[in-house]
Every structure is written in structure tokens, then in C-alpha cells.
Amino acid sequence: MENLSLSQESLWLLTVVYDLGLALILYRFFGKYGLYVAVVLGIVLGNLQGGKVSELIIFGTAYKVSMGAILYSGIYFATDVLNEKYGRKEANRAVMLGFVANIAVMITLVLSVQFKPSEITGSALEVHNAISTLAYYSPAFVIGSLTAYLVSQTFDVWFFHKIKSYTGESKLWLRNNLSTITSQLIDTLIYQFTWVFATGMDWSTALMLAATKYIFKVLIAAVDTIFIYWVRKW
């Protein structure tokens, strides 16, 4: 399949809009259950592509960004909408659903590669090898990613609810952004520590990647504020 004839920057923006748009569509047609699905899709797809790092050139400066950072945007949007409209309990339920789903996917991939590929078609071996790469990419990455997700998302739900206890129904922009950018910092630091532990990456490179990833996450958080105000009265 040929690559789309788009710049990497345009593709990045398109992917962010797609990710948030998918969460919107799921919520519009399926209510809170659609948001559960958005969280599950976000964590599973984000972790499967977390090791794919792309380079974006913005105003002449090159930035290295993980695909996982982009696909996580829908998770924060979904849990914040659940927290705002249905309460902390529903938001935490979505977080745990995502956690369990990701573990189930990882176990399924590991089980899949235990089966020997058939020689009836050449593609069987290619698919087997591709699944093996995902299944055994790095146990440290899987553990680190799951830890980062669970800790940061649990904090996000708690902090959002805590801010709302002070602001009431007003200042949605404050609790949405403050809870998201704080929890994203936690997620980024835990995951980047995993990179250092798993690959032996030096701390200066790890912190540079973390800073770049965090900047993009903050930008995405600002964008999803528009969306959360849009769906608030649905």
C-alpha cells in the first residue's frame, strides 16, 4: 500500500482530528458506552504503535514523536467527558476496562505466536513474524506502558473530580486542561523511564524525547477542550 501524499505535519494533524473525531462519533451514537470503546481503542492502538517514532519538522526544527502520544489523545477526552457528565465512578470504570483490554490483547498476541505458521501461503510466515515483533517487542515496554497508563489515568480522573468539587459546573476548561496536562506529564515521565531501562538510552536523549512528546500532548489537550465544550450539552 502506497503512503498518503501528505506532509508528516499534515498527517499528524489529520490523525489527531481523526482520533478525537472517532471518540465524538462513538459518544454521539452510543453514549457513555461509546466512550468506553474510545478508551479501549486508544490504549490498545496507542501501545501497539508506541514504539513507532516519527520525525516532524515544524518551523525548521525536527521533533521526534511517538505514534502512541497521538493516539492517546482520545483517552483523555473520553475519560474527562465521562467524569464531567456521568461522574468519577464511570470514568474509573473506563480506565480499568482499557487496562484489562490491553492485557488481554498482549496475552492473545503471545498465545498466537505459539502456533506454527502454515506453509500453504507465503504470507502466513510474514504475519507470524509481524505478530511476534509486537508480542515480544519488550516486556519492559509493556509493563512500563501499562503502569504509566494506569497511574496517569487514575490521577487524571481523581484530579478532574477534585477541581470540579471547587469550581462546580463552571470553568470546565480549567479542570479539563489542568488535569490532562498534569496526568500527561506523569505518563510521559514513567514511560520515558521505561525507555531508559529497556534500551539503555542516555538520560539527555530520553528527557529530550519526553519534552517533545509532552509539548505535543499539551497541544492536543488544548484542541480537545474545544471538543469537550461541544459535546457538553449532548
The pTM score is 0.86
| Higher-scoring residue by pLDDT: 41, 61 | 41
d(CA 195, CA 127): 26
**What length does the chain have?**
234
The conformational region for residue 226 under phi > 0 = left, psi -120 to 50 = alpha, else beta, is: alpha
Strand pairing partners for 57?
62
pLDDT at residue number 60: 66
Helices first, then strands: H and E counts in the chain = 9, 2
Strand, coil or helix: 17:
helix
State CA 226 to chain mean position distance. 19
> 59 pLDDT band (50/70/90 cuts)?
low
Which cell numbers hold the place of 227?
471538543
Residues 6+ apart with CB under 8 A from 102: 43, 44, 47, 145, 146, 149
Counting beta carbons within 10 angstroms of the beta carbon of residue 23, is it exposed (0 to 12), middle (13 to 18) or buried (19 or more)? buried
> 133 pLDDT band (50/70/90 cuts)?
confident
What is the dihedral angle through the alpha carbons of 159, 98, 49, 28, rounded to the nearest 10 degrees?
Answer: -80
What mean pLDDT comes out for the span 161-166?
93
d(CA 203, CA 206): 5
Render pLDDT for 173-224 as a digit per residue (tens, 0 to 9). Answer: 999 999 999 999 998 888 888 877 767 777 887 788 788 778 888 888 888 8
Question: What are the structural domain ranges in the chain?
Answer: 8-231
Counting beta carbons within 10 angstroms of the beta carbon of residue 35, is it exposed (0 to 12), middle (13 to 18) or buried (19 or more)? buried
pLDDT at residue number 52: 75
The answer to whether 46 touches 101, Cβ cutoff 8 Å, is: no
